[in-house]
């Protein structure tokens, strides 16, 4: 898997940097365009009874990259995206603003799972097609926190915080939603538009949480 660099092409995978936090800093991961699908949609695209294969485990417990790709058809053009597993209760297609603009979508910024009122799209798989009524979105920047780390930072679930990134193009990410759960590992997630805007680089890029 490609490591973080100052400039990225849109990888379909969330990049694993480290498994630790220190002081008031948090590891930042850059995420490229990808999708989550229901079992029903998966079978329409790949065939009845199809199951997702694990290519690589991701940093969030139970989440994994797969070798499976599908084509998302936008108003202007199409793009191939990878599926992340396991299957979910709703279909969701996470794009950066650049991705959405190139494909022709007017996609809102949303938290994961909040797909009501988002654009739909056509999907093309190796063994079928599917029309999705909603699910195309730009993921709201967020931090996953274990309850223990949230307590250390003094952060509550759904609280909005800031994260400061230092460096030649240092900036402060505002409107970062905190998501606290015992099912999470502590990481910040941004898309590659945001990752590149701050010229984030190095094997373990971090930001300072400002409450």
Residue with tokens 């010229």, as numbered in its chain: 199
Q: Find out whether 13 and 59 touch, Cβ atoms under 8 Å.
A: no
Is residue 138 within 8 A of residue 145, CB to CB? The reply is no
Give the model's pLDDT for residue 22. Answer: 58
- How much is the pLDDT for 203? 80
Q: Residue 33 contacts by C-beta under 8 Å, 6 or more apart in sequence?
A: 10, 12, 79, 81, 93, 94, 95, 96, 99
Cα 50 to chain centroid distance, Å, stands at: 24
Determine if residue 101 is left, alpha or beta; phi over 0 gives left, psi from -120 to 50 gives alpha, anything else beta.
Answer: alpha
Domains of the chain, each with CATH number or no CATH: 25-31+141-210 (2.40.40.20), 34-139 (no CATH)
pLDDT in tens, 86-110: 999 999 999 999 999 999 999 999 9
105-142 tens-digit pLDDT: 999 999 999 999 999 999 999 999 999 999 999 999 99
The pTM score is 0.86
Q: Can you read off the two tokens belonging to residue 102?
A: 């190139």
CB 147 within 8 Å of CB 155? no
User: How far apart (Å, rounded) are the C-alpha atoms in residues 67 and 135?
Assistant: 21
- Which parts of the chain register pLDDT below 70? 1-22
The predicted pLDDT at position 96 comes to 97
**Model pLDDT, residue 112:** 94
In 3D space, the residue among 104, 140, 130 whose CA is nearest the CA of residue 119 turns out to be 104
């Amino acid at each position: 898997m490609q490591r973080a660099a100052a400039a990225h092409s849109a990888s379909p995978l969330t990049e694993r940097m480290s498994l630790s936090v220190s002081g008031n800093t948090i590891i930042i991961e850059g995420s490229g365009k990808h999708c989550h699908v229901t079992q029903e949609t998966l079978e329409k695209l790949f065939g009845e009874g199809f199951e997702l294969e694990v290519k690589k485990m991701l940093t969030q417990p139970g989440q994994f990259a797969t070798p499976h790709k599908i084509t998302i058809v936008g108003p202007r053009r199409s793009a191939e995206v990878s599926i992340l597993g396991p299957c979910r209760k709703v279909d969701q297609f996470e794009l950066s603003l650049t991705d959405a603009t190139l494909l022709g979508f007017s996609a809102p910024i949303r938290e994961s799972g909040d797909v009501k009122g988002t654009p739909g799209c056509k999907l093309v798989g190796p063994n079928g097609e599917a029309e999705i009524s909603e699910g195309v979105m730009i993921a709201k920047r967020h931090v996953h926190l274990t309850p223990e780390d949230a307590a250390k930072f003094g952060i509550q679930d759904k609280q909005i915080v800031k994260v400061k990134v230092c460096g030649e193009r240092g900036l402060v990410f505002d409107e970062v939603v905190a998501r606290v759960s015992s099912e999470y590992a502590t990481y910040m997630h941004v898309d590659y538009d945001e990752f590149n805007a701050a010229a984030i680089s190095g094997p373990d890029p971090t930001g300072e949480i400002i409450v």
